[in-house]
Structure 1
Amino acid sequence: MDAAFAHQQSQRALRQRNFLAIGCLGLGIACLALVTMAVRREREVILQPVVPRTMSISSSGVSRDYLEAVTRDTAQLALNRSPETLQYWMDSILKISAPEARGGLKSKLIGIIEEQQGSQVTQFVTIDWIRVDPASLTSEVGGVLHTIVASRDVRRENRVFRFAWKYEGLSLKLRGFGVLSRKDQIDE
């Protein structure tokens, strides 16, 4: 009788194991199908109407209009600064920068802060044009950089600034920016 009971118990355990294996196989196939669908599906986010045109970004890349709008806003943020807003200026630029670029950017921004802290020097830019290249994720901004000391406009220079971007997932991050020399502008 013990042998029959043991055989019955082992058959029941085998049936349970087989049902569990079939269930695990089914869940594994379902997970694989969901992951495949998530990877293949193009994601898209509709942006709020704070820009003159309806825009969206997708996982397939950055549109020209979106890159231009982000460049315009970033140029206004990065190129307009006064001694009273330096900490906010630096924090804001670092928030939109790519993680791997933050260290280098922060050290350059700290140098600017140390140089400008306590002075009466304010800078702002008036943008004349913006060129964007979504394929290389770069953009250029041309305009007049004004330097104000106290309340006098002491310098006005035509400058071209280049911004380099990184696009990952649905996130556009700043890799770096700087002024182009006259030689760089002529070579292009």
Structure 2
Amino acid sequence: MDLAFSHASNQRVLRQRNFLVVVAGALAAITALLLAFGISRDREIVLQPVLRSPVTVSSAGVSREYLEMITRDVVVLTLDRSPQNLEYWMNAVLEITSPRVQGKIKADLLKIVNEQRGSSISQFFTIESMDIDPKNLRSEVTGELHTIVGNKVISRERRTFRYDWEYEGLSLRLVGFGMVRTGKEQDK
């Protein structure tokens, strides 16, 4: 009788063990699926509405609207400057710059700061058109660059500026900007 009771008890423990192994395997499979889904899923952050419409940023890439709005603001930041705001101007540009190119861009900005410091030369840019390429993370902006000495406008020149960007994670960073030279300007 003890042998039959022992055998029945062992069979019950074996069934419980097998059931727990199946449940543990199913939970492991579900966890693996959820983990794979979580890693591969595009992340989005909803930003506050900016002028025209709400903006979302996705890990899948930069939307045309977002790149256009950022370019518009960065154009104002990079091209509007006066001797009174040179330090702020340089630091603000460096804050939006990718860490991998900050040294080069800082050197270029310091040349401008040193040339313009103590002068009465200011400049501002009026945007006429933008060419936005979210696939290649490039923006080109055309407009008039106004140069002012004291309180007198001494030049108004039509110029095009290019902005190059990088997008990592959910962060858009400036990697380069400058004036685009046309064929006529290169011949001079």
TM-score normalized with structure 1 length: 0.80
How far has the Cα of 1:41 moved from its partner?
1.2
Whole-angstrom distance in 2 between the partners of 1:31 and 1:119: 65
Whole-angstrom distance in 2 between the partners of 1:58 and 1:184: 40
Superimposed CA distance per residue, residues 83-113 of structure 1 (whole angstroms, 9 cap, x where no aligned partner): 0000100111100011101011000000000
1:51–1:69 CA contact under 8 A, matched in 2: no
Aligned to 2:137: 137
Map 1:40-119 → 2, pairs under 5 A: 40-119=40-119
Superimposed CA distance per residue, residues 31-81 of structure 1 (whole angstroms, 9 cap, x where no aligned partner): 755642332111011111123122211011100000000000000000000
Distance 1:184 1:94, change over 3 A: farther
Whole-angstrom distance in 2 between the partners of 1:102 and 1:153: 32
**1:103 alignment partner AA:** G
Distance 1:38 1:116, change over 3 A: same
**1:127 alignment partner AA:** I
Whole-angstrom distance in 2 between the partners of 1:105 and 1:90: 10
Percent identity, please: 45
Structure of higher CA gyration radius: 2
CA RMSD of the aligned region, Å?
2.4
Whole-angstrom distance in 1 between the partners of 2:141 and 2:147: 17
Runs of 4+ deviating beyond 2 Å: 25-38
Structure 1 gaps, min length 5: 1-21
Distance 1:111 1:45, change over 3 A: same
Structure 2 gaps, min length 5: 1-20
